[in-house]
Structure 1
Amino acid sequence: MTPNIHNATSYLSVYFKEFIGYSPKLITAFVILFIGLYAIRIINRLIRKIMIKRDLDPTLTKFLADILLWALRILLFVTFISKLGIETSSFVAILGAMGLAVGLSLQGSLSNFAGGMLIILFKPFKVGHTIEAQGVIATVCEIQIFVTQLITANNQTIFIPNGILSNGIITNYSLLQQRRADLTFSISYDSDIKKAKNIILTLLKNNPKVLENPEPEVFVKNLTDSAIELAVRPWAKTEDYGAVFTETLESCKIAFDTAGINIQPFVKEMSQSNSPS
């Protein structure tokens, strides 16, 4: 029993000496860790404030700040383990191998990441813009790194991956300040064309949402077998486009009814085989 106690005491003495000799590295490493985390937080806040003062895009500001944050954290972690005496070369090699494996397994996500970068840098649209993309017309709610969040007119949330969004056709309805409404009215051949045109122009000029410059246009678009097609082209501010479109339809219908101008309904042609005998 005595030799065992002696051996245990010897081991404890050796371990204690090793711990005392290693403690300066341990203390230094943890001091660097805590100071580094505090410094990273201050640097991140400072960088965010600088980018906000320079009016950078909010999405780009958040993205760059997050990239900087994680880069500094990785650098701090490597410094921390090196101070502990751990060989960092093998650790970096392991991280590289893990990064390659993760990159191969997340090719789609990397494509979306690259698409998000293109959207943020080239800005085909911004938050608040109404766009049409991938068969969807909606308002941009948030541009994230991998997906773009949209809100439809009936309050549905849609997430489109940035990879296909950046490579597809995007129609931005909010980029310009003015927008033209393209309407077509079909009236019968018995109707007075000039009278119909004057009625439409009067209604457009009396609508405060219709812009005076460019001037609204009304002209004969086509002469079909069953009707005269009048093209109506009022201009409006982008935010008033929907109201101008619907108000023009309603007011013209009411005015035509009052003036006795018949709106010609669409006539579907019947084939010879389906015609009555």
Structure 2
Amino acid sequence: MDELGLEQELQHLKGTYQFVADLLVQYSFKLVGAIIIFLLGLWLASKVSKLVSRQFEKHQIDITLSNFVSNFVRILVIIMVAIVALGQLGISVTPMVAAIGAASLGAGLAIQGMLSNYAAGITIIVTRPFVVGNTITVKEVTGVVQDIFLGKTVLTNEEGEHISVPNKHIVGEVLYNSFENKLVETQFTLSYDCDPQQAISSIEAVLKASPQVYQEKACHVGINDFASVGFEVGVRYWVATQRYYQDKYQTNMAIYSSLKQQGINIACPVKEIHLNH
């Protein structure tokens, strides 16, 4: 390598060194300041998140909503601090904010069903139309509330099946809440030869003595309608939702046995056929 080439190489290295030195002098303090701001921001986000959680716990607000809000506040504080830290480095965040906004709009349109479930979940947690352990019926689905999440509510039935109901199908719909119990409605027809008062008293006695029937709510027994072969008796009583079918079947058997012992007959349609010879 000749002297001219060596001199050019030295000049190039000198220029690179000068550029790096100027860069460090110009941005080192800014970089350190940005790092310090970001670390303080992480500490502040943690403190604010814990403060929000304590306030929710103090006012006995649902833990699911508490976790959601505290995490949201923490992320929001971190984003704000990151924007300040980037500004400290002289980086313009305007194009970045615009890009994030556009991406958020597209993502929001893509997951609007999920977001509507989350919004409905927050509404359920805040307004508390039901709590864990209640029996609810919505869109012809009945079960005991096992868990309430932001996106869905999990019900369980007597067979132990788990039914996941999206929260958007609960908020704004007709909702039945019978708490821990469920109503049993039964109708059957007795012959007109029977004494209706005797039959009603017999059924009421069975319901009152039955351990399966929820006694805190009144049972109702009476003449529901009249048919061609007899009068229709309506029976309404409450049982625990978790044993609905089991208790219903046992109670129906007890009612039938009581009526049979007293000679009260359930009417049966009779069709007469006359043959002409």
TM-score, normalized by length of structure 2? 0.80
- Which letter does structure 2 place at the counterpart of 1:42? K
The aligned length equals 268
Structure-2 change in CA distance of 1:233 and 1:58 (3 Å): same
**Aligned residue for 1:161?**
166
Distance 2:34 2:163 in 1: 47
Q: Does 1:195 pair with 2:182?
A: no
Q: Does 1:231 pair with 2:231?
A: no
Matches within 5 A, 1:246-257: 246-257=249-260
Larger Rg: 2
Quote how far apart the aligned CAs of 1:56 are: 1.0
**Aligned residue for 1:140?**
145
**Aligned residue for 1:56?**
61
Structure-2 change in CA distance of 1:82 and 1:205 (3 Å): same
Q: Does 1:185 pair with 2:188?
A: yes
Quote how far apart the aligned CAs of 1:52 are: 1.2
Distance 1:251 1:195 in 2: 16
Answer with 103-112 or 61-70: which moved more: 103-112
**Aligned residue for 1:106?**
111
Aligned with 1:260: secondary structure?
coil
Quote how far apart the aligned CAs of 1:54 are: 0.7
CA contact (8 A) 1:173 1:238 kept: no
Quote how far apart the aligned CAs of 1:15 are: 0.7
Distance 2:58 2:118 in 1: 26
Q: Percent identity among equivalent residues?
A: 27
Distance 1:78 1:84 in 2: 10
Aligned with 1:166: secondary structure?
coil
Quote how far apart the aligned CAs of 1:47 are: 1.5
Distance 1:186 1:48 in 2: 60
Which ranges in structure 2 are unaligned for 5 or more consecutive residues? none
Which of 11, 17, 28 matches 1:6?
Answer: 11
CA RMSD of aligned residues (A): 3.2
- Which letter does structure 2 place at the counterpart of 1:158? I
Structure-2 change in CA distance of 1:120 and 1:29 (3 Å): same
Aligned with 1:56: secondary structure?
coil
CA contact (8 A) 2:144 2:156 kept: yes
Q: Does 1:116 pair with 2:121?
A: yes
Aligned with 1:87: secondary structure?
coil
Which of 208, 216, 219 matches 2:222?
Answer: 219
- Offset from partner CA, 1:130-149 (integer Å, 9 cap, x none): 21123321233333333333
Structure-2 change in CA distance of 1:151 and 1:5 (3 Å): farther
Answer with 252-261 or 24-33: which moved more: 252-261
**Aligned residue for 1:45?**
50
TM-score, normalized by length of structure 1? 0.80
Which of 11, 21, 30 matches 2:26?
Answer: 21
- Which letter does structure 1 place at the counterpart of 2:230? A
